[in-house]
Amino acid sequence: MTSRTLLRLLSAGAAAAAGIALAVAPAVASTGGHGGHGGHGKQTVPVRLLSINDLHGNLEPPSGSSSRILDPDGPLVDTDGTLTGIAGGKYSIAGGVSYLATHIKQARDRNTLLVAAGDLIGASPLISAAYHDEPTLEVLGSLGLDTTSAGNHEFDEGYAELQRLMNGGCHPVDGCSPAGEWKGTDFDFLAANVLKQDTGTYALPPYYVKTINGVKVGFIGLVTATTPTIVTAEGIKGLQFTEEVAAANRASAYLARKGVKAQVVLVHEGDSITPNQSPDACSVNTTNAGSRIARELNPQIDLVISGHSHQAYICKTSDPAGQDRYYTQGSSFGRVLTQIDLQIDKRTKDVIRSSVKADNKVVTRTVTPDPQVEAQVQAWKTRSAAVADRKIGTITADITNLVNNSSAATTKPETALGDLIADSQLESAKAGGAEIALMNPGGIRTSLTYAQKGSEGDGVVTYGEAFEVQPFSNIVQVRTYTGAQLKALLEQQVWTPNPTTGAITHRILQVSSSLTYTFDTTKPVGSRVSDIKLNGTPVTDTQSIKIAANNFLMGGGDGFSVFTQSTDTWSGPIDLDAFTAYLGAHSPISPSPADRITFVK
C-alpha cells in the first residue's frame, strides 16, 4: 500500500487542533541489509544523510550573484565585502544539478539517504517553470531523492497542482509537456502541519520512514506556518497551516510508539545566521523562527534540517532535555550539499547524539558533470525554447539600462528600465503590503529594444527577451523598515567619479514610482540623501515602511547591509514573473522620464 493510499485512510477530524490521532504510518521503505558497515556483531548502524533545500528549479548552473557562495576553501577573494558581506572572505562559483549529481555520487555510500527541506520547485527559471517544474522533479528522481518537506513555493500553483505533480497526469490547462504524460514522483512532499480545512485530515503525508540495516529512521516534514502570508490565497485555498512544533511533536510521539526512535525533522523554516561560525556560536537565537523550532521540538527528535532563509549554516542547540541537537541549512539553488553522519544504537534504535557530525560541502564546478543528468538538463533546455518565443507585452520605444553601459560623469543613475522593473516588483508585492520597491542595477543585464530580434515584430517583448533582462531568478521579498533605516539604506549608495578617467563607480538603487528623494553627490558620503517622500508625503524617521526588493539585496548584497536589519520577511514571486506579469498587464509601455531621483552633481 502506498503512502498516498494510507494517507487517505486517516479518519476525518483526526488532525483537529485538539490533537492528531495518527492511525497509520504513511510510508515505510527499506534499504541495505545485515552485514557491511552495519553488520552482525556491531552495536551501531552508520547512517549518512545528504540534504539540499531551496533548489527553486535551478537546473542549469546559476549565474551572477546567485552562483556565488562563501567558501573558506574557495579560489576567489572578495576584497571589499560587497559579494559576501565579509571583506577578505573567500568564495566559490557553485551550483548546477549536473555538478550536484556528481557531488552526491561521490558522497553516497550504502547507508545514505538523500533528503530535502522544501522549495525544490516554484520561483524557478524558465527551463523548469515552462513546464510547471516537471523537469526539476524528473531530475530529482534521477538524483535519488528519498523524501522532502514541502516548502511554501510548492503551493504556488495550488494544492491540486502539487497533488498532480506527485501523482502524475498532464497539466489541466497546458496539457502534456513535450516529454509526454507526467508520471509523478517517486518521493512525497511531507507536511505534518498542513491540514484540509473541511475534514481536519492531513493534506500531505506527515512523515516518511526508511529502514537501514534493520533500524528505522523517521523523517517528519514541516512547512513554515507563515505560508498563508507569503503564498496567494488561491494557492492555499482549503488548507490550514498549523504551528510547527506542536504538529511535529504529535507525529514524533506516534512514530516513537511504533518503534521509530531515530527521528529527523525536515522543516522549511530557517534563520539568518552569519556563516562560518562554529556550531556552538550560533546555537541560540531567540529572534529567529527556525532556531525556536529547533530548540522546542521534543527530545525524541534527533536532528533538524531546515530551509527557507537561503543561508548556509551548521548550528547546534539544546533540546528540552538538555541534549545537543544539530540544526543545519544548505544555502539555495543547489550550491551546497549538507552531509550529516551519525550512528544509531542497534539496541535502543535511537541516534547516538555524540556521534553526529555535520558539514556543508560547496557544490563546486571543478568536478565532471554527471552525463545522465546533464543530458536531461539539455533536453529540457531545448524544449523550453518554444516558451522563450512567447509574446508577453509591447513597448513603444527602447527602454534602456544606461547605468550599465555608460561611464560619463554626466550620466543620470536612474534609468527607464530600472523604473519599470521596480514598478513591477512593487505591484507583485502588494499582497505583502509593499509600499516601495528598490532594485539593484547590477541585476538588470540588458535593455529592452523596440526593434525585433527575431520574427516577433517591432515593439514586441518575448518571454526570452524579458528573461535576458532578469536571468537570476531572484525572489521578490518584503520587509519592514523605519524611515531612518530607509535613509541609511539610501546613504549606502555609491557614486564615485574617477577624476582622471571620468569613469564612475556606482551602485544607485532603482526606485518605484511611490518613492522620490534627492541625492546630492557634492555633499559628504553619509549626508547625500534628503527630501524623501512616499507617494508625495515626507517620510519621518519613526514611521514604518514596507520595502520590496529581491532576495539578493535583502541578504545585504552589493554592500547594502541595512537590508539585513529587518527579518519579517514576506516572499513573493521570482522577479522575472513579476516583470512579465507587469508587461502583460500594462502594455503598450513607454519609457518613463526617470525623474524619481533628483540627482545633484
Average pLDDT over residues 184-190: 97
- Residue 167 and residue 314 share a domain: yes
Number of domains in the chain: 2
- Say what the pLDDT of residue 10 is: 34
pLDDT confidence band for 169 (50 / 70 / 90)? very high
Q: Do 270 and 408 belong together in one domain? A: no
pLDDT at 262 over 90: yes
Q: Output the CA angle 248-55-146, nearest 5 degrees.
A: 55
Residues 144 and 290 in one domain: yes
For 156, the 3-state DSSP assignment is: coil
Structural domain contains residue 162: yes
Q: Above 90 in pLDDT, residue 186?
A: yes
Residue 10 in grid coordinates: 486517516
Q: Look at residues 38, 86, 31, 96 and name the one whose alpha carbon lies nearest to residue 363.
A: 96
Specify whether 332 is located in the same domain as 441. Answer: no
- Name the grid cell of 200: 481536519
Is residue 448's pLDDT more than 90?
Answer: yes
**328 lies in the same domain as 431:** no
Q: Which residues pair with 326 in a beta bridge?
A: 303, 316
Q: How much is the pLDDT for 9?
A: 31
**397 — phi, psi (to 5°)?**
-165, 175
Tally of CA atoms within 13 A in the half-sphere of 104 that contains its CB = 28
Contact 146, 264 (CB under 8 A): no
For residue 37, what pLDDT is reported?
39
Statement: residue 33 has pLDDT above 80: no
Question: 588: cis peptide before it, omega within 30°?
Answer: yes
Is the model's pLDDT at 57 over the cut of 80?
Answer: yes
433 within some domain: yes
Query: Global pTM?
Result: 0.74
Q: Cα 225 vs. chain centroid, distance in angstroms?
A: 16
Q: Are residues 196 and 141 in the same domain?
A: yes
Q: What sign for the dihedral angle of Cα 274, 279, 285, 289?
A: positive
* Same domain for 550 and 467: yes
Classified as helix, coil or strand, 222 is strand
Strands (E), 293-332: 301-306, 312-318, 324-330
Q: Give the mean pLDDT of the chain.
A: 88
Residue 209 has pLDDT above 90, yes or no: yes
Question: 457 with 572, same domain?
Answer: yes
Query: Cα–Cα distance between 571 and 579 in angstroms, integer?
Result: 16
- Burial zone of 109 (CB within 10 Å; 0-12 exposed, 13-18 middle, 19+ buried): exposed
Domain that holds residue 283: 44-373
Per the DSSP assignment, residues forming a β-bridge with 358 are 340
Whether pLDDT at 507 is above 80: yes
Q: Is residue 524 included in any domain, yes or no?
A: yes
Is the Cα dihedral 83, 373, 37, 259 positive or negative? Answer: positive
Whether 21 is in a domain gets the answer no
Q: Are residue 345 and residue 458 in the same domain, yes or no?
A: no
Give me the mean pLDDT over the 433-446 stretch: 92
Task: Give the whole-angstrom CA distance, residue 114 versus residue 42.
Answer: 24
Residue 453 confidence class, pLDDT cut points 50, 70, 90: confident
- pLDDT at position 587: 97
Q: 524-529: long-range contacts at Cβ-Cβ below 8 A with a sequence spacing of 24 or more?
A: 525/491, 526/491, 527/491, 528/491, 528/493, 529/487, 529/490, 529/491, 529/493
pLDDT score recorded for residue 81: 60
pLDDT in tens, 103-142: 999 999 999 999 999 999 988 888 998 899 999 999 999 9
Q: In whole angstroms, what is the distance from residue 568 CA to residue 123 CA?
A: 20
Structure confidence at residue 39 as a pLDDT band (50, 70, 90): very low
- Model confidence at 442, in pLDDT bands (50, 70, 90)? confident
Q: Between 76 and 588, name the one with better pLDDT.
A: 588
Reported as a single tens digit per residue, the pLDDT across 297-318 is: 999 999 999 999 898 999 999 9
Q: Which three cell numbers stand for residue 457?
A: 515584430
pLDDT above 90: percentage of residues in the chain: 69
Amino acid letter for position 83: L
Q: CA 139, CA 387: separation in Å to the nearest integer?
A: 20
Residue 229 lies in a domain: yes
The domain that holds 215 is classified in CATH as 3.60.21.10
pLDDT at 539 over 50: yes
Comparing C-alpha atoms, which of 290, 283, 288 is closest to residue 306? Answer: 290
Residue 224 in any domain: the answer is yes
What's the confidence (pLDDT) of residue 303? 98
Q: What is the CATH number of the domain that holds 584?
A: 3.90.780.10
Q: What is the pLDDT of residue 499?
A: 75
146 & 239 share domain: yes
Task: Give residue 18's pLDDT band: very low, low, confident or very high (50, 70, 90).
Answer: very low
Provide mean pLDDT across the span 324-330.
95
Domain termination site, one of 341, 373, 405: 373
Same domain for 76 and 169? yes
Q: 519 in a domain, yes or no? A: yes
When mean pLDDT is compared across 41-50, 230-239, 384-393, 590-599, the lowest value belongs to 230-239
User: What are the tens digits of pLDDT across the range 458-499?
Assistant: 999 999 899 889 877 788 999 999 999 999 999 999 988 877
Q: Are residues 116 and 235 in the same domain?
A: yes
For residue 399, count other CB atoms closer than 10 A to its CB: 23
Q: In this predicted structure, what is the pLDDT of residue 198?
A: 96
Pairing of strands 475-482, 570-574: antiparallel
- Domain end, chosen from 316, 339, 373, is at 373
* 543-574 tens-digit pLDDT: 999 999 998 898 888 889 999 999 899 989 98
- Closest among 212, 188, 192, 213 to 201, alpha carbons compared: 192
- The pLDDT of 349-377, averaged and rounded, is 97
pLDDT band at 411 (very low <50, low <70, confident <90, very high): low
Is the confidence at residue 382, as pLDDT, over 80? yes
462 beta partners? 391
299 closest CA partner among 257, 339, 347, 353: 353
Residue 504 clears pLDDT 50, i.e. is over it: yes
338 lies in some domain: yes
Q: Report pLDDT for 556.
A: 84
Q: Which pLDDT belongs to residue 66?
A: 82
**Contact yes or no for 8/196 (Cβ under 8 A):** no
Pick the last residue of a domain from 323, 345, 373: 373
